[in-house]
Amino acid sequence: MSNLFNEQETDFDFDFIGGGHALKKTSDKDIVHLYKNGIFIKAQPLRPAIDKRLFVVDLVERQGVNRTKLASSLEISRQSINNWVDTYRKNGSTGLVNSTKDSWKKNPKRFTGNKARDLEQERLETKQELEKQELTINYDKETEVKEKYCAHANALYNEECDYQENRYSGSMLYLAMVISEFNYIKQLSALVGNYLWVPLMFVMMHVNNILSVEQLKTAYRKEFGQIIGVKTLANLVKIRENIWGLVALRQAAQGMTKFFKIQIIKGVVSIWRIFLDGHLVPYSGKRKIHKAHSTQRDLMMPGQTEFFGHDSSGNIVYFDIQEGKGDMIESLRQVSYLIKPYNKNTPPLVVVDRELWGVENFLSIENSRFVTWEKNCDKAQLAKLDAGRFSGHIELNNKNYMFYEEKKTYRSANNKSIELRRIISRNTNTGETFAIVSNDTIETTKTILDSMLNRWGCSENGFKHLGTRTDMHYNPAWKIEKESEHQEIMNPEYIALKKELKKKKGELTKIQKELGKKEPKLKQDGTLRKYPAREKKIARRGIVEKEITKINHEIAGCPERIDIRQTEARAFKTIDNEAKKWWNISEMIFWNSRKKLSKLLFTYLPDNRDLLPVLDAISNSRGWIKNTKNTLIVRLEPMEVPRFKDAQIQLCRYLNNQKIKLPNGKLLQYDVADNPFTVKK
């Protein structure tokens, strides 16, 4: 080292701190000398403290010295170095300045609080977040929205004002749900940009029982605009223009998938069992579209089929709209595919009606789990089963059932087969006996039976309840231009041949019956007596048999189905469901939020008969809205009935304690009090 340092200097005079750097103390304790590779770099003052901190940060960040050795040389703690470096990374050099005693008015850049404790808390949260990512059930990243996509969301609810009366204040309860449970506004901002207020408007229309855009002409535009975060609601012309702008983006399918997944990840819905059923959306226009089945009328009508998947609590987990009578099998596949990744790669148990029946159908969904009624079972034979065979018992809706399970192989006409679980159940009160089938290998017999018996409450009645609260058929923007991809129809020639064949077979049967009634008789000499009428019928029978053979040959060479465009008939059109899907997304968000709010209200009102009437009364109540720089306050008018008022207050307290924030960072708070402008004497 003698060739690198002065003769008076030895290795013992230097503190080596890594990266070829060394510090040498001087006679002045507030000055150190910095060397690199034995070459003097500079004399560094350690006073004021800011110079020392910047010097340390520079050595660590730019020179890459060892933090432990640097701390030992300067006689400071390693933790202090970590704090200074983290503070510099977060706030720059200004963050290294000690906090002053000046007020915020004199020094707006002044940092408050204990920086070391703040950094400690940040490190703790970072570690917790890393450990959280290791959880196998954590999918939070799928619900996050990058800040660069949130500009349009941040622009909502920025109109500051003192308390203003608003007839729709009560519906702002749902705003807390759509933000906390679905991150609805930020997700919309990323999906549809400046059109995000349109789906938000749809949600508030559902809340306020406004069943069509046309009804908005009777709404108070300024007040309705306030609850969706804009200065005032646009006129109908502008609203329709924006709806068509939303349709043009073609983001509804992506939005459906996004919100299906979000409510699964956030635990809004249950996913182990899904009740799947279809619902007719009728069409009464002049265009030619496919027909769907109307259960109420028991006939085919022009329209679409809307499939809904509900969980055990009646929440909407999945929906789809298909033209004509739809494809239940495809919907079952889709809901299984949706849920499987979030359920340990296990598909949900899907409960469906007899529409699923068929060996071919069962084989096509063998990777899914289903439960359905046995179709065309012999109930008379089931009723004769001895009661001793029934070993299980279950009570549901004040009815008692007994049951037992067996295995049964079902075969199709083309000799394909599948073995299914078959549960035979009998109502002990009425004696009615029925059969249920399932391919599930996980659930117990009792669970399978319970699932099928619960279908009416969670599926059929779900449509009834939803239909009484919203307009399930409404489409905000009708568009029928494209031809359907499904243009196949029954071949008219094939139908005519089938009718002719049926007619000829009927004629042949009639001839055979007539010949059977007139048996040939013998003459006295033992020869057959001649009957001209009988001989004529025999001759006719031969002709008819030949005609039947000919028709069968023609049918064999005639296609059963053809493309309608090969005929003179009009082609089928398809309805553009882009706007309808956004309406349904908003309907799902509203419905599941309503379910969540009613469950919260149940804590304060244990009587189920009170829940929905009180919730609707609160959400339909007037109030006052105050929007400040930091907070959006919704003051609701108190309810008159004391126990309802107490429940209203507790519900608002619960929501306030969730510390729900709007996308622009404002805190959303609720209050229950009288008119703030009333002067009390």
- Judgement on whether residues 393 and 312 belong to the same structural domain of the protein: yes
The β-bridge relationship of strands 273-282 and 349-351 is: parallel
Backbone angles phi, psi at 404, to 5 degrees: -150, 165
pLDDT tens for residues 111-124? 455 666 676 677 67
Pairing of strands 316-323, 299-310: antiparallel
Task: Enter the tokens of residue 241.
Answer: 């223009």
- Is a pLDDT exceeding 60 seen at residue 107? no
- The kind and range of the H/E element at 427 are strand 417-427
pLDDT of residue 451: 93
Q: What's the first-to-final CA gap in the chain, in angstroms?
A: 92
Query: What pLDDT is attached to residue 104?
Result: 46
Split at pLDDT 50, 70, 90, the class of 677 is confident
More confident residue, 149 or 234: 234
Strands (E), 324-374: 349-351, 369-373
Tell me the average pLDDT across 560-569.
85
Across residues 559-570, what is the average pLDDT? 86
Q: What tokens were used for 17?
A: 């701190």
- Rounded-to-10 torsion of CA 261, 350, 462, 329: 90
Q: Which two tokens stand for residue 142?
A: 């799928």
Burial 548-583, CB ≥16 within 10 A → b, else e: beebeeeeeebeeebebeeeeeeebbbbbbbbbbbb
344: helix, coil or strand? coil
Whether residue 610 sits in one domain with residue 553: no
Q: Are 303 and 572 in contact (CB under 8 A)?
A: no
For residues 215 and 178, state if they share a domain: yes
In a domain, 127, yes or no: no
pLDDT of 100 above 80: no
**Nearest of 302, 259, 155 to residue 581 by alpha carbon:** 259
User: Are 416 and 407 spatial neighbours (Cβ–Cβ below 8 Å)?
Assistant: no
Contact 440, 401 (CB under 8 A): no
**Complete edge-to-edge strand list for the sheet that includes strand 39-45:** 14-18, 21-25, 31-36, 39-45
At residue 394, does pLDDT exceed 70? yes
Q: Where is 69: in which H helix or E strand?
A: helix 67-74
Domain boundary residue, one of 116, 140, 168:
116
128: pLDDT strictly greater than 70:
no
Asked if pLDDT for residue 137 goes beyond 80, the answer is no
Do 399 and 427 meet the contact criterion of CB atoms below 8 Å apart?
yes
pLDDT in tens, 468-517: 889 999 999 999 988 888 888 888 899 999 999 999 999 999 988 888 77
Question: In this structure, are residues 20 and 66 in contact, taking their beta carbons and an 8 Å threshold?
Answer: no
- Contacts of residue 54, Cβ cutoff 8 Å, sequence gap at least 6: 93, 96
Residue 403's pLDDT is 94
143 domain-assigned: no
Q: At which of 541, 566, 591 does a domain end? A: 566
Question: How much is the pLDDT for 3?
Answer: 47
Residue 376 in this model has a pLDDT that exceeds 90: no
The tens digit of pLDDT for each residue in 254-264 reads 999 999 999 99
Answer whether residue 75 is part of any domain.
Answer: yes
Q: Which residue has the tokens 């065309």?
A: 376
Inter-residue contact 453 to 396 (CB < 8 Å):
yes
The pLDDT of residue 410 is above 90: yes
Buried b (16+ CB within 10 A) or exposed e, 504-528: beebbeebeeeeeeeeeeeeeeeee
Is there a single domain that holds both residue 377 and residue 510?
A: no
What is the structure's pLDDT at 159? Answer: 92
- Residue 510 within a domain: yes
Nearest to 633 by CA among 162, 181, 179: 162
Task: Give every CB contact of residue 260 below 8 A, 6+ residues apart in sequence.
Answer: 317, 318, 338
Can you give the pLDDT at residue 520?
A: 74
For residues 120 and 123, what is the distance between their CA atoms, to the nearest angstrom? 5
**Any domain includes 126:** no
pLDDT of residue 596: 95
Instruction: Return d(Cα 154, Cα 138) in angstroms, integer.
Output: 27
Q: How far, in Å, CA of 242 to CA of 3, rounded?
A: 80
Any domain includes 165: yes
Res 139: pLDDT: 64
Are residue 347 and residue 451 in the same domain, yes or no? yes
Answer yes or no: do 459 and 500 share one domain.
no
By mean pLDDT, which of 492-496, 555-559, 566-570 is the weakest?
566-570
Judged by DSSP in three states, 420 sits in: strand
Which helix (DSSP H) or strand (DSSP E) does residue 343 occupy? none
Please tell me the predicted confidence (pLDDT) of residue 411.
92
In which domain, by residue range, is 665 found?
148-232+603-672
- The answer to whether residues 276 and 391 belong to one domain is yes
SS3 call for 566: helix
678 located within any domain: no
Maximum mean pLDDT: which of 378-382, 594-598, 676-680 = 594-598
Residues 6+ apart with CB under 8 A from 175: 227, 668
- Residues 6 or more apart whose CB falls under 8 angstroms from that of 342 comprise 137, 139, 261, 264, 265, 271
Q: How far is CA 241 from CA 189, 236, 248, in A?
A: 18, 9, 11
> What's the CA gap between 182 and 188, in Å, rounded?
10
Residue that has been written with the tokens 């079952």 in this structure? 332
Peptide bond into 48 cis (omega under 30): yes
Confidence of residue 6 (pLDDT cuts 50, 70, 90): very low
- DSSP assignment of 131-174 equals HHHT-TT--GGGG---GGG-HHHHTTT---EEEEEETTGGGGHH
pLDDT bin (cut points 50, 70, 90) of residue 305 is very high
What is the rounded CA–CA span in Å between residue 316 and residue 593? 10
What percent of the chain clears pLDDT 70, i.e. is strictly above it?
91
Residues 415 and 319 placed together within one structural domain of the fold: yes
What is the Cα–Cα distance from 227 to 309, expressed in whole angstroms?
30
pLDDT digits over 521-544, tens only? 777 777 777 778 888 888 899 999
Whether this model's pTM surpasses 0.85 = no
C-alpha of 236 from chain center = 29
Region 85-89: mean pLDDT is 84
Q: How far apart are alpha carbons 34 and 42 in whole angstroms?
A: 5
For residues 102 and 209, membership in a common domain is answered with no
Counting the structural domains of the chain, the total is: 4
Contact by Cβ (8 Å): 92, 98? no
Q: What pLDDT is stored for residue 131 in this prediction?
A: 66
The 3-state secondary structure of 310-334, one letter per residue: ECCCCCEEEEEEEECCCCHHHHHHH
Do 321 and 379 reside in the same domain of the chain? yes
Residue in this structure with the two tokens 């304060």, named with its chain if needed: 604
Label residue 654 by pLDDT band (50, 70, 90).
Answer: very high
* pLDDT per position as a tens digit, 417-435: 999 999 999 999 899 999 9
Range with the lowest mean pLDDT among 455-469, 603-617, 642-656?
A: 455-469
Same domain, 427 and 555: no
pLDDT score, position 296: 77
Would residue 158 count as lying in a domain?
yes
When the pLDDT of each residue in the chain is averaged and rounded to a whole number, the result is 88
As a whole number, mean pLDDT of residues 316-331 equals: 93
Instruction: Please report, rounded to a whole number, the percentage of residues in the chain having pLDDT higher than 90.
Output: 56
Q: What's the pLDDT band for 129 if we cut at 50, 70, 90? A: low
31 and 179, same domain (yes or no) = no
Contact 490, 520 (CB under 8 A): no
Quick check: 461 pLDDT over 90?
Answer: no
What average pLDDT does the segment 277-290 reach? 90
